[in-house]
Amino acid sequence: MSTTAKTSRTRKPSPPTLDELRRYAIARSLFKPTTLPRAIARLGFVQADPMRAPARAQDLILRHRVSGYRAGDLEQRYARLKIEEDCLVNYGFVERRTLALLHPREARRSWDAKTREQAEQLLAAVRQRGPTHPKHLLEEFAHHGRQAGYWGGELNVSTQLLDGLHYRGQLRVKRRDNGTRVYEAIAHPEQDQSPAARTQRAEALLDMVLALYAPLTAASFGYLTSLLGYGAPHLRAETRAAFKRAKQRYAHAQIEGQTWYWPADENPRSRRHAADAQLRLLAPFDPVVWDRRRFELFWGWAYRFEAYTPAAKRQMGHYALPLLWGEEMPGWANLRVDKGRLRHELGFTGARPRSAAFRLALEEELARIEQFLGLA
């Protein structure tokens, strides 16, 4: 065998280009629509948000990935699905089996004696009642008083205690009634706390994060690892250590000055990742656009979520939805429902596309959203 032949067999494949990574990121996340359980299983985590603009983030995320999905389907079917409301890198929905990776969870801040006593009273009441609407507890435990909320204003102390008990894994969300959590008591089984078992759980959590948001730069992957301190604070040291071993466990390459990671069994250069011509309005927390660093690398402009920005300082709008057309991201849209009709305002980073193809793609997407909202 010639030296040239030997070299060709041992030569490493060339890394993907940034264009190939962008195409791969879109295709792997916006997979062919399937059933609701299968879509949740494939995503692993669906971030939640209470704002309706014009629907909640979880519904806006799932509508692209679930056949015939309508706003509110997740809430209506929640009790029949094997899923849970819980925390991963943010608050959202996970498969029930994921709880074994997240619990028993140790909260960062411990409660003082008075708070523990109040929490135990609430927990005992839920155990006695069974599935419980918070309003019944708020009436019974109104004497707990009020304190500052996370986003300003004041909240009933009992409301914050219920959140704390849920976070600590002593309550679960049984269902929602008109958007309000109905709680029931839960006890998670003890976990193997050996170093090997803790490492295994930490690696499984990193696998989930990468599978959801890949491809990721090293900086973004490290940031998401730090956010796992929200869902699994008790495994913070193990997830950090697992991230340091990322090059041993995941495919990676140096591309235009950045180290990128993706699952070892996937090929970003596959021709199967060709983009379609569909136009999609994406939620601010959709996996395709969640990573703002990657967004700017892929599309050359900075997308901002401005719901908490004073109105006078907003550049894109209250709840701007990035506008993905094929594999291009030319702008964004703000949607609202007025007197039963869907209204839209568009913004663009450059000139508005004037082609008939764009007009048709936009009309089709707005029609899909009307169906999704039950307006059509």
- State the pLDDT confidence band at 11, using cuts at 50, 70 and 90: low
Confidence of residue 306 (pLDDT cuts 50, 70, 90): very high
Q: What is the CA radius of gyration of the chain?
A: 23
Per-residue confidence at 145, pLDDT binned at 50, 70, 90? low
Q: Which of 185, 209, 226 is the last residue of a domain?
A: 185
Q: Is 77 among the domain residues?
A: no
Residue 246: closest CA among 229, 233, 265, 262: 262
- 277 and 353 belong to one structural domain: yes
Per-residue model confidence (pLDDT) at position 370: 97
**Last residue in a domain, options 262, 283, 318:** 262
Structure confidence by residue, pLDDT tens digits, 338-352? 999 999 999 999 999
Neighbours of 128 (CB within 10 A): 9
Residue 109: the pLDDT is 83
> Of 151-155, 286-290, 360-364, which range is least confident?
151-155
Confidence check: pLDDT of 143 > 70: no
Pick from 52-61, 152-161, 302-311: least confident = 152-161
Alpha-carbon span 87 to 94, nearest angstrom: 8
Together in a domain, 249 and 283: no
299/360 same-domain check: yes
Domain assignment present for 190: no
- Phi, psi (rounded to 5 degrees) for 234: -75, -10
Percent of the chain with pLDDT over 90: 84
292 and 200 together in one domain? no
- The answer to whether the beta carbons of residues 302 and 296 sit under 8 Å apart is yes
Q: What percent of the chain has pLDDT over 70?
A: 93
**Region 29-48 average pLDDT:** 97
1 pLDDT more than 70:
no
> In angstroms, rounded to a whole number, what is the distance separating the alpha carbons of residues 248 and 136?
52
> Six-digit token pair at 1?
């065998």
Taking only the tens place, the pLDDT of each residue in 249-282 is 999 999 999 999 999 999 999 888 888 889 999 9
Indicate whether 192 pLDDT > 90.
yes
Each residue of 148-189: pLDDT tens digit? Answer: 544 444 456 788 899 999 999 999 999 999 889 999 999 999
Question: Does residue 325 surpass a pLDDT of 60?
Answer: yes
- What is the pLDDT, as a whole number, of residue 49? 94
**Both 304 and 362 in a single domain?**
yes
Quick count: other Cβ atoms within 10 Å of Cβ 371?
14
pLDDT at position 7 is: 46
Instruction: Report the number of distinct structural domains present in the chain.
Output: 3
What is this structure's pTM? 0.92
Local structure of 94: helix, strand or coil: strand
* Residue 175 lies in domain: 113-185
Specify the CATH number for the domain of residue 153: 1.10.10
Q: Evaluate whether 355 touches 322 at the Cβ level (below 8 Å).
A: no
